[in-house]
Amino acid sequence: MSDVTTTDLYEVTMAMSYLREGMTRPATFSLFVRDLPPERGFLVAAGLESALDFLSGFRVGPEDVAAFASALHRPERDLALLLGLEFTGRVRAVPEGRIALAGEPLLEVTAPLPQAQLVETYVLNQVSHQTAIASKAARCVLAAAGHPVIDFSLRRTHGPRAGFQAARLGAMVGFAGTSNVAAATAEAVPAVGTMAHSYVEAFDTEEAAFWAFARSHPGPVTFLVDTYDTEAGVRVAARVLRDLGRGPGSAVRLDSGDLGALAVRARAILDAAGLPDVRVIVSGGLDEYAVDDLVRSAAPIDVYAVGTRVGVSADAPFLDSAYKLVEYDGRPVMKLSSAKVTAPGPKQVFRRPGYADVIGLSDEQPPDGGIPLLETVMRGGRRTGRRPRLAECAERFAADLAGLPPAARRIRDPVAPRAVLSGRLTDLADRVRHRIEESVAR
């Protein structure tokens, strides 16, 4: 089986029916987030590269057909129409790292209807999950107000792939490093890490543990000081570091308790020991809210290590995202369900200064000062260009963040900008709605 089978069963049943009915004309699906989660002023577009990798290799093989047949309790011959199906379509998308708003298409797929339908689940999964994590991580960078933030999330993310993605996305929005060795190696991100409490407990004393660790790791070291008594641990660490002459670049890490108050005591002990260059790192249940509180309290903390709450976007673990048909065979379509109305037709998003964005039709000319966000990234089932480097995605994010209104950047009670529909798109929606309502009334 391939990743083709990573889909919802109804995608298979619909694709089969389309093929039997000869409905293979081009269809356009639009992927967007209806509303932002509470306490979010913006989104960071992510997951596109994973989606393109999937689409580039999408081909239904014999084992996939066998899996579909087993799931449907039908003979394989009934699903023979799916065998050999490949993705041959076009994708237009907001590049990774760009800031996006509610209602704006992050991605649009145009392909023969069975293809565009069958890829929905995987594409929606990747874009939704990674956009949620990237948006959470970006808020941590804002909260840290220039202090380095590092990723410690791997052990608590929902699987190793999610952990890899969290490390990559953190780096994309400005994290200084990750504890995830695989991600650090693959993405050229600094690998960071210290020791666990178990390491300290394995030795007779904290001092013996710190000396042993330093012997194995020449150069700057970081000691975890709260296994027993935090202030006593800082004093032991200061003594070892002073005796070793390892001050510059070294650090102590606080992982529990009142981190702000403990950071004050740790800083005082280190300074009194003549170690002003030894940094204070904090970890343990941190997210943007905790980091914001610590920064605002002026706690003498140099580095923030965030893990569980960021790696799973604990306060907003999902997005209200959708992948909706907006055109089939040149006919614009829309959904009229209460609270889930969609806009018809392939679209473009025009970014204007101050994030006064306009969502228009794909063939519209940009409004004054507007820059199109969606780019053609795949044509004929193949990428139109090379995979962007992570540094390029990071540059996009930094540039977009610089122009984001201050109210949208706030950690608490942000005010998200809202995109508006262009006149042409509004007119099209009115016409399509009228056509649908007339057909329903007959």
**Are both 178 and 307 inside the same structural domain?**
yes
**Domain-ending residue, one of 311, 339, 354:** 311
Determine the average pLDDT of the residues in 185-195: 94
Report yes or no: 26 and 329 within 8 Å, Cβ to Cβ. Answer: yes
State how far the Cα of 416 lies from the Cα of 397, in Å rounded to an integer: 17
Rounded CA-CA distance 18/75 in Å is 19
pLDDT of residue 440: 74
Question: Are residues 246 and 184 part of one domain?
Answer: yes
- Among residues 289, 311, 333, the one where a domain terminates is 311
**Residue 223 covered by a domain:** yes
**Domain with 250 in it:** 143-311
* pLDDT of residue 388 exceeding 90: yes
257 within a domain of the structure (yes/no): yes
Q: What pLDDT, on the 0 to 100 scale, is given for residue 318?
A: 93
Q: Are residues 327 and 437 in the same domain?
A: yes
Which amino acid appears at position 52 of this protein?
A: L
Count other C-beta atoms under 10 Å from residue 216's C-beta: 7
Give the Cα separation of 262 and 235 in Å (integer): 13
Domain check: are 203 and 228 in the same one? yes
pLDDT score for 401: 97
**Residue at token pair 């709450």:** 309
For residue 2, what pLDDT is reported?
86
CB 69 within 8 A of CB 394: no
Phi, psi of 409 (to 5 degrees): -85, -10
Please tell me whether residues 14 and 122 are part of one structural domain: yes
Do the domain assignments include residue 138?
A: no
Question: Does residue 9 form part of some domain?
Answer: yes
Mean pLDDT (the chain) is 96
CA distances from 109 to 120, 173, 247, 369, 388 (A): 9, 26, 55, 27, 20
Residue 88: closest CA among 55, 130, 125: 55
Q: Please tell me the total count of domains within the chain.
A: 2
238 and 348 within one domain: no
- Does residue 48 share a domain with residue 152? no
Q: Which of 311, 327, 357 is the last residue of a domain?
A: 311
How do residues 359-382 score in pLDDT, each as one tens digit? Answer: 999 999 999 889 999 999 999 999
* Cβ-Cβ contacts under 8 Å for 240 (sequence gap 6 or more): 207, 210, 211, 214, 223
**pTM of structure:** 0.95
CA–CA separation, 241 and 181 (whole Å):
26
In order of 61, 77, 417, the CA distances from 69 in angstroms are 12, 9, 47
Distance CA 300, CA 268 (A): 10
- Same domain, yes or no, for 418 and 346? yes
CA–CA gap between residue 22 and residue 113 (Å, rounded): 10
Give the pLDDT score at 439: 79
Longest Cα–Cα distance of the chain, Å, equals 89
305 and 437 within one domain: no
Q: How many CB atoms lie within 10 A of CB 147?
A: 15
Per-residue pLDDT for 338 more than 80? no
CATH classification at residue 255: 3.20.20.70
Residues 198 and 49 both lie in one domain: no
pLDDT > 70: what percent of the chain?
Answer: 100
CATH number for 93? 3.20.140.10
For residues 354 and 260, membership in a common domain is answered with no
> Do 121 and 175 lie in a common domain?
no
